[in-house]
Amino acid sequence: MSPRIWAHSPKDAVLLGISLSQLAVMIAAALTWSGTGPVVRGSGFLVVTAMMTYNIIVVSHLFTHVPWFVSGRLNAIASVLNSIAIGQSVQAYHLTHVRNHHRYNNDPVGADGTTKDKSSTYRDGRDGDHTPLPRYVLLGALDSLLGRGRELIGVVRLWRLGAADANLLALASNREPRRSRELRQVRADRAAHCLSLVGFAVLSWQWTLFCYLPAFFAALALVNVQNYYRHYGADPSHRGADSVSHYGRVYNRLTFNDGYHQEHHLSPATHWTKLPTVRDRRRDLLDARPRIVSPVPAMLGFLHRGRPLLHRAPTDQPTNS
- For range 29-44, the mean pLDDT: 96
Where do the structural domains in the chain lie, given as residue ranges? 12-229
Please give the Cα distance from 108 to 238 (Å, whole number): 12
**Is residue 95 a contact partner of residue 182, using CB atoms and an 8 Å limit?**
yes
- For range 117-145, the mean pLDDT: 96
Query: What pLDDT is stored for residue 2 in this prediction?
Result: 57
240-284 pLDDT, tens digit each = 999 999 999 999 999 999 999 999 999 999 999 999 999 999 999
Packed helices 38-54 and 72-86: angle between N→C axes, nearest 10 degrees: 140
Please give the Cα distance from 274 to 230 (Å, whole number): 20
Cis preceding linkage at 108, omega within 30: no
Q: What is the mean pLDDT of the chain?
A: 95
How many helices (H) does the chain have, and how many strands (E)?
16, 0
* Burial bucket for residue 128 (CB in 10 Å: 0-12, 13-18, 19+): exposed
pTM above 0.85, yes or no: yes
Ordered DSSP codes for 18-35: HHHHHHHHHHHHHHHGGG
Selected residue with higher pLDDT from 132 and 151: 132
Please give the Cα distance from 59 to 14 (Å, whole number): 9
Query: What pLDDT is stored for residue 306 in this prediction?
Result: 93
Percent of the chain's residues with pLDDT above 90? 91
Beta bridge partners of 69: 6
**Is residue 116 a contact partner of residue 104, using CB atoms and an 8 Å limit?**
yes
Residue 283, sorted as left (phi over 0), alpha (psi -120 to 50) or beta, turns out to be alpha
Query: What pLDDT is stored for residue 164 in this prediction?
Result: 84
Query: What pLDDT is stored for residue 56 in this prediction?
Result: 98
pLDDT class for 151, splitting at 50, 70, 90?
A: confident
DSSP 8-state code for residue 293: B
Query: What pLDDT is stored for residue 153 in this prediction?
Result: 87
Percent of the chain's residues with pLDDT above 70? 97
213-228 pLDDT, tens digit each = 999 999 999 999 999 9
37-59 pLDDT, tens digit each = 999 999 999 999 999 999 999 99
**Is residue 262 a contact partner of residue 245, using CB atoms and an 8 Å limit?**
yes
136's CB contacts (< 8 A; 6+ apart) are 121, 124, 130, 224, 228
78-129 pLDDT, tens digit each = 999 999 999 999 999 999 999 999 999 999 999 999 999 999 999 999 999 9
Least confident among 184-188, 203-207, 227-231, 317-321 = 317-321
pLDDT class for 314, splitting at 50, 70, 90?
A: low
Selected residue with higher pLDDT from 78 and 159: 78
Please give the Cα distance from 110 to 218 (Å, whole number): 31
* Length in residues, the chain: 321
**Of the candidates 175, 196, 170, 162, the residue with the CA atom closest to the CA atom of residue 84:** 196
Query: What are 23-29's contacts with CB under 8 Å, separation 24+?
Result: 23/81, 23/84, 23/85, 25/51, 26/51, 26/200, 26/212, 27/200, 27/203, 29/207, 29/211
Query: What pLDDT is stored for residue 313 in this prediction?
Result: 60
- For range 7-16, the mean pLDDT: 98
Q: State yes or no: pLDDT of 315 exceeds 50.
A: no
